[in-house]
Amino acid sequence: MSSATLHVAPPDLRSAFRHAATSTWVVTGARAPGIDPTGFTAISIASVSLAPPLVSFNIGKDSSSLVTLGRTRRAALHLLGRDQAHVATRFAADRSRRFAEDGTWGWTGGLPDVHGCAVRLTTTLVDLVEAGDSFLALARVERATTRAAAAPLVHHQGSFGPLELIGA
């Protein structure tokens, strides 16, 4: 392998990552407990450490949720179930429609809670590291709740869909 530095254009890198199937999450926060919810769809959630329990996720520098999460340092991470593509799409679109009063979410512990998700992690942000056009958030898991045995929703080739089990 050559040691020469190669320039990779953003569209090329995005195209390369479209080939990887990833879990689909919604990250939520609030300006104050039970007040002014914020959130977004994330496909960058990763387990970092079991002891202490740490996860990471990316948040764009232009994200409408960045100021709230950076100030409050609290977030809830929701692993979406296979039938929640509509939730993933809504939280990836216009922020004014993310928290519609339609029964898909409520409040738990002062943070927005996506109903019907497979897993909910309540976290405290311990660091925000500048990384190009994003920040890498490092968060300590304060509570992990498994809610359903349902298969997760995955993101692949720019779309959301159910995980097709290998060999099933």
Distance between first and last Cα of the chain? 39
The predicted pLDDT at position 168 comes to 43
Contacts of 14 (CB under 8 A, 6+ apart): none
Q: Which domains does the chain have, with CATH numbers?
A: 21-154 (2.30.110.10)
Strand residues in the chain grouped as ranges (E): 22-23, 25-32, 35-42, 46-50, 53-60, 74-79, 105-108, 111-114, 119-131, 134-146, 153-156, 159-162
| Contact in structure between 45 and 57 (CB atoms under 8 Å) | yes
pLDDT in tens, the chain (168 residues): 455 567 888 888 788 877 778 899 999 999 999 999 999 999 999 999 999 999 999 999 999 999 999 999 999 999 999 999 999 999 999 888 899 888 889 999 999 999 999 999 999 999 999 999 999 999 999 999 998 677 899 998 888 888 775 444
pLDDT at 11: 84
Encoding tokens for residue 30?
């609030």
What is the per-residue pLDDT for 14?
81
